[in-house]
Amino acid sequence: MDELAVKALAKINLGLDVLRRREDGYHEVKMVMQTIHLYDQLHLKKIESGIHLETNLGFLPVDESNLAYRAARLMKEKYQIEEGIDIRLNKRIPVAAGMAGGSTDAAGVLYGINELFNLGIKRKELMELGVQIGADVPYCIMRGTALAEGIGEKLTSLPPMVKCPVVIAKPQVSVSTKYVYENLKLDEHTQHPDIDALIQNIRTKDLPAIAGSMGNLLETVTAKKYPEIEKIKELMRENGALNAMMSGSGPTVFGLFDELETAKMAAAIVRQSGLARQVFVTDIYNNRR
């Protein structure tokens, strides 16, 4: 095999709580991660030498600072791969959006190189390697429904989430995860989402209850700064979403629906409102790697 196409799927957070700030500045989180069927397309090819990366987005770096490149370098060094790797990255996942776009590209490259060069690395080892690139990378290798704790790298798989249509809307603003965590206030007045209740509802496969127990503590920072986030949530709810919430550190908003037709109509209304340029109708993706 000389080339391989890999889908790098995005995630949403059905729940995101921050428990505390650690001495080292990192935050201890408790998040429910869910893969969705929105993806970047990766095309990997063996070449003579080096690492060559190309993307369809002019503003994205194609060197060390791109996580896909970093993943290829890590694999080449760790497993002493002599040949080179050509990576074509066709991005569809909104950038700096709270959907783990860069992390999932890195995960796709780790997974793809393992396949392409027939390295036979076990998933667990690949996940351990992934954490060197970013806390979300191991989850992006695993996929499906999972509880992420620690700084996001401690994963427990959960029963698969009920499949349903999902509308994704990314407002024009970009948010740095670092800014959001630095501006998060944690004290005795903080109202934490009930992640355990959410997990229980996922177990019993009760979609309206799942939607009702979603919560993201980081909205207290990002949605306060960008009012369009609340407006998009409102618009989705008024147009049939069981619930709508910000994913990760934002600014992307997602809505869960029980009917595809309703989801499509709500997406069209959000698009028309001008509040978000990147709007997608997708669904829950549950296959693990």
Annotated catalytic sites, by residue? 11, 136
C-alpha triplet 37, 262, 244: angle, nearest 5°:
65
CB of 248 to ligand ATP, least distance (A): 4
Considering only residues 16, 18, 33, 98, which one is a binding residue for ligand ATP as defined by CB under 6 A? 98
Give yes or no for a contact between 51 and 89, defined as CB atoms under 8 angstroms apart. Answer: no
Q: Is 17 in the site for ligand ATP (CB under 6 A)?
A: no
CB of 261 to ligand ATP, least distance (A): 29
Taking CB under 6 A as the criterion, which residues in 177-206 touch ligand ATP? 177
Q: Is 100 in the site for ligand ATP (CB under 6 A)?
A: yes
267 is in an annotated binding site: no
98 is in an annotated binding site: yes
Provide the terminal-to-terminal Cα distance of the chain, rounded to the nearest Å: 20
The Cα–Cα gap between 27 and 25 comes to 7
Q: Dmax over Cα atoms in the chain, in whole Å? A: 59
3-state secondary structure at position 144: coil
263 is in an annotated binding site: no
Our CB check for ligand ATP shows the closer of 173 and 268 to be: 173
99 is in an annotated binding site: yes
Considering only residues 31, 38, 87, 99, which one is a binding residue for ligand ATP as defined by CB under 6 A? 99
Considering only residues 35, 110, 136, 285, which one is a binding residue for ligand ATP as defined by CB under 6 A? 136
The Cα–Cα gap between 20 and 175 comes to 21
Mode of pairing for the β-strands spanning 84-90 and 51-55:
parallel
Q: Is 228 in the site for ligand ATP (CB under 6 A)?
A: no
Quick one: DSSP state of residue 48?
Answer: S
Considering only residues 97, 126, 263, 276, which one is a binding residue for ligand ATP as defined by CB under 6 A? 97
Omega before residue 94 within 30° of 0, cis? no
CB of 194 to ligand ATP, least distance (A): 22
> What angle do helix axes 123-130 and 101-116 make, rounded to 10 degrees?
140
Q: Which residues bind ligand ATP (CB under 6 A)?
A: 60, 65-68, 95-103, 105, 136, 177, 248-249
